[in-house]
Amino acid sequence: MTSTPAATPAATAPLPVSSRGCPVLHGESFAANSPRVYRQLREQGPAGWAEIAPGVHALVVTGRRAALDMLNDPATYAKDARLWADLNEGKIPQDSPVLPLMAWRPSALYADGEVHARLRRVLDDCIARISPHRLREVTRRGALTLVAAVAERGEADMMSDFADTLPLLVFADLLGCTSEMATRMVEVCQVLISASPDAAQAAVDFAGLLFELIHLRRAQPGEDLTSWMLGHDAGLTDEEVLHQLYLTVGAGVIPTAAWVGWALHLLLRDDSYAGTLAAGTVSVRRALEKALWVRSPMANF
Ligand code: HEM
């Protein structure tokens, strides 16, 4: 018996909808059908309701104009997650994987106006002090360590064994971790990133580790983000420093890992990049640029 090639089931199967009849922006079906789910979402207009995690609904903005209007109007669209009605009314599961990122913390991410400006100035000033030379060296060293481990094993999961871990190694160094703390930081943050049921405990462990680090760097300041934030003239409390560090790592690792992952995918799997890889860094640069165009490191936020 012969048959003509049919569309794959994933391309035709009905998409799941949430208990409120909204598109579902999480889980296996979303991973397999994301372009179709985004189309379904866009059919609602420049903003539409979606389920972003089990039992968690959000109004997702998909139109550029609407996004600009929203981002430029913090008085109407405040980032203060303490105003989140569903959370205040107990409608969000306490163990929801979105809470480590979306529940309020005293960091720039959840602030507007002057409060945001103060915290953001500290972030900008301290990040600007990182020397590109040191960043390059730390990244190179981290990459070589990970590649050596892969070479020894003979196989690798490109995300967990390389792309997810490299930014963590770099941040551990930039934050001023001792090598023992760096090992612990990589471990807890890997669990955090996985959004597994252990993520909530990992968030607590990570905050505990940052607390230790702040104490260490108060006593022994060094050339690192933690010491610079503690010494900044904005006069942040230890708790504020902790949350700006948490934000920096939280916001910095996941998009960077996704970007590295897609660029590597192009370099290793796409002949037009892999073919010239041995010729030097040009194709690496091109692959990084192409990855930004075709696979945004952050599809939605
Ligand atoms: C390809 C890489 C990256 C992408 C695509 C990306 C994307 C984003 C997006 C979309 C936001 C939200 C902006 C908003 O709320 O208006 C954001 C915020 C932020 N990101 Fe990134 N990011 C990347 C890398 C990084 C890195 C490496 C760091 C740290 C060194 C970082 C630190 C932050 C911080 C601190 C915020 C909060 C800023 C604020 O609220 O004022 N990001 N990022």
Q: Where are the domains of the chain?
A: 13-77, 126-294
Q: Please state the atom number of ligand 1 nearest to the C-alpha of residue 296.
A: 5
The helix/strand/coil state of 49 is strand
Per residue in 153-177, pLDDT (tens digit) is 999 999 999 999 999 999 999 999 9
8 vs 115, higher pLDDT: 115
Span between the terminal Cα atoms of the chain, in Å? 48
* Mean pLDDT in residue range 34-45: 94
Q: Tell me the Cα Rg of the chain.
A: 21
Q: Please state the atom number of ligand 1 nearest to the C-alpha of residue 127.
A: 30
pTM for the predicted model, two decimal places: 0.89
Place of tokens 């598109």: 23
Which protein residue has the closest C-alpha to ligand 1 atom 3?
255
Per residue in 26-38, pLDDT (tens digit) is 999 999 999 999 9
Mutate to test the pocket of ligand 1, among 72, 73, 109, 135 (most ligand atoms within 8 A of CB): 109
Domain 126-294 - what CATH class?
Answer: mainly alpha
199 vs 68, higher pLDDT: 68
Nearest to 192 by CA among 97, 301, 62: 97
What's the CA-to-centroid distance between 163 and ligand 1, angstroms? 17
Is the pLDDT at 295 greater than 80, yes or no?
yes
Which pLDDT does position 193 carry in this prediction?
78
Nearest to 191 by CA among 172, 170, 228, 164: 164
User: Do residues 122 and 229 make contact, with C-beta atoms less than 8 angstroms apart?
Assistant: yes
Per residue in 254-285, pLDDT (tens digit) is 999 999 999 999 998 887 777 666 666 668 88
Task: Name the band, by pLDDT with cuts 50, 70 and 90, for residue 199.
Answer: confident
What's the CA-to-centroid distance between 65 and ligand 1, angstroms? 20
What's the CA-to-centroid distance between 295 and ligand 1, angstroms? 16
From the CB of residue 148, how many other CB atoms can be counted at a distance below 10 Å?
A: 9
What's the CA-to-centroid distance between 152 and ligand 1, angstroms? 34
Q: Which residues form the pocket of ligand 1, taking CB atoms under 6 Å from any ligand atom?
A: 71, 108-109, 120, 123, 127, 247-248, 251-252, 255-256, 259, 297-298, 301
